[in-house]
Structure 1
Amino acid sequence: MDRLDPKTSIVVVVDVQEKLAAAMPPTQMEALMRAAKILVEASQALEIPVIATEQYPQGLGPTVPALREQLASRTATVLPKTEFSAAEAPGFSAALANHRAKSIIVVGMETHVCVFQTVRELVGRGLSVHVPIDGVASRRDDHRQVGLDLCRAAGATITTAETIAFDWLRKAEGDAFKRVSKAVR
């Protein structure tokens, strides 16, 4: 397994929206928000691009406020979609190609629907896909577990947000390390 390289990585935040978030189990939502915070902070510190999607935002609302603010400060690309796979959203492939990404970090909801279909599509394109278990949520625990199992079966690496962030950092020094360490605490 190759080390994650910040120069060829991209973070994809799938559908972390207000009305969907309200339906998620609180413990899963708390973990997802913490993981997203760590990964978006690390991406900012290491200049890793971020693409966020919003599933039918007219009905499901925008990205949750805390994450929306963090993404805005990061100037992330935000794409509305109706497709379940974020990889099939209009503009997604172009955004991916602009960054020459090889490793894709996927966080979001729901694990067994949009996250899984995104992962399957990206793995099918020959990309290395990483799914942090603390960065995904589904309304039901069994659906989340099935989604993670399907992501693994599709060829994704199942990991954690901290594992990804510290793999990008490589060493415990410098401003990026300080920023990520603060987000982890």
Structure 2
Amino acid sequence: MLMDAAASSLLIVDVQQNLGPVMADPRAVYRGCSLLLRGATRLDIPVTVSEQYPKGLGPTMGELLELTPANSVVEKIHFSCAAEPAIKDRLDGFNRKQVVVAGIEAHVCVLQTAIGFHQAGYQVFVVADACSSRLAANHQAAMARMAAGGLSIVTVEMVLFEWLHRAATPEFKDLSRLIK
């Protein structure tokens, strides 16, 4: 199944100031999430950014927060965004049955979020190269478990080019410049 911009929303999970720097590959997460946010904004795809206990873990990383649309950040206390009523209601309100998920930690909040939305009837696409964990082995195990459970494991470029659907558009020109 392909990702469709008209059917998708983007969910960035917990890429926060006190958590991001201790990931196995934080720069890849920041770059990937940045590209996804830029793509979603350019293509009018709804965005949600979760923050797990921001008093302790800090706010979303500044470079990502600058790209986040107003009123898109939602605090949570559950590990799974699907178990957090404000986030679940927000995504349900978009009336889009595909959710593209990226963030940290892959084996905790991303995994529980992806499985939760999958169980709620969403088509879930987890962006492997925009996710991380403190240990690379945890990231790998999370991706394998989600794939075995029927979730689609994708890359940033897969997401962007499937959302674009075709070349020779102003959106294609804008987003392809970002990838190069």
TM class by smaller structure:
over 0.9
Kindly state the Cα deviation for residue 154 of structure 1 after the two structures are TM-superposed. Answer: 2.4
Provide the secondary structure at the position in 2 that maps to 1:98: helix
Aligned-residue CA RMSD (Å): 1.1
Greater mean alpha carbon deviation, residues 135-144 or residues 147-156: 147-156
- 1:172 paired residue number: 167
Matched, 1:119 2:90: no
Whether the 8 Å contact between 1:123 and 1:154 is mirrored in structure 2 is no
Q: TM-score, normalised by structure 1?
A: 0.93
Q: Which has the higher helix share?
A: 1
Task: Kindly report which structure 2 residues correspond to 1:82-97, keeping only aligned pairs within 5 A, or say none.
Answer: 82-97=77-92
- 1:138 paired residue number: 133
Q: Measure, in 2, the Cα distance between the counterparts of 1:4 and 1:82.
A: 29
Provide the secondary structure at the position in 1 that maps to 2:79: coil
Kindly state the Cα deviation for residue 90 of structure 1 after the two structures are TM-superposed. Answer: 3.3
For structure 1, list consecutive stretches of 5 or more residues without a partner in the other structure.
none
- 1:43 paired residue number: 40
One-letter amino acid matched to 1:168: W
Kindly state the Cα deviation for residue 64 of structure 1 after the two structures are TM-superposed. Answer: 0.4
Whether the 8 Å contact between 2:107 and 2:139 is mirrored in structure 1 is yes
Q: Which digits, 9 at most, give the CA deviation of each residue in 1:7-63, with x for residues without a partner?
A: 1100000000001012112xx211111211111111111100000100000000000
Q: Measure, in 2, the Cα distance between the counterparts of 1:83 and 1:154.
A: 21
Kindly state the Cα deviation for residue 76 of structure 1 after the two structures are TM-superposed. Answer: 5.3
For structure 2, list consecutive stretches of 5 or more residues without a partner in the other structure.
none
Q: Measure, in 1, the Cα distance between the counterparts of 2:51 and 2:8.
A: 21
Q: Which digits, 9 at most, give the CA deviation of each residue in 1:141-181, with x for residues without a partner?
A: 10111111122122210110101110110111222112211
Could you list the structure 1 runs, at least 4 aligned residues long, displaced by more than 2 angstroms after superposition. Answer: none
2:157 equivalent among 151, 162, 176: 162
Q: Measure, in 2, the Cα distance between the counterparts of 1:87 and 1:16.
A: 17
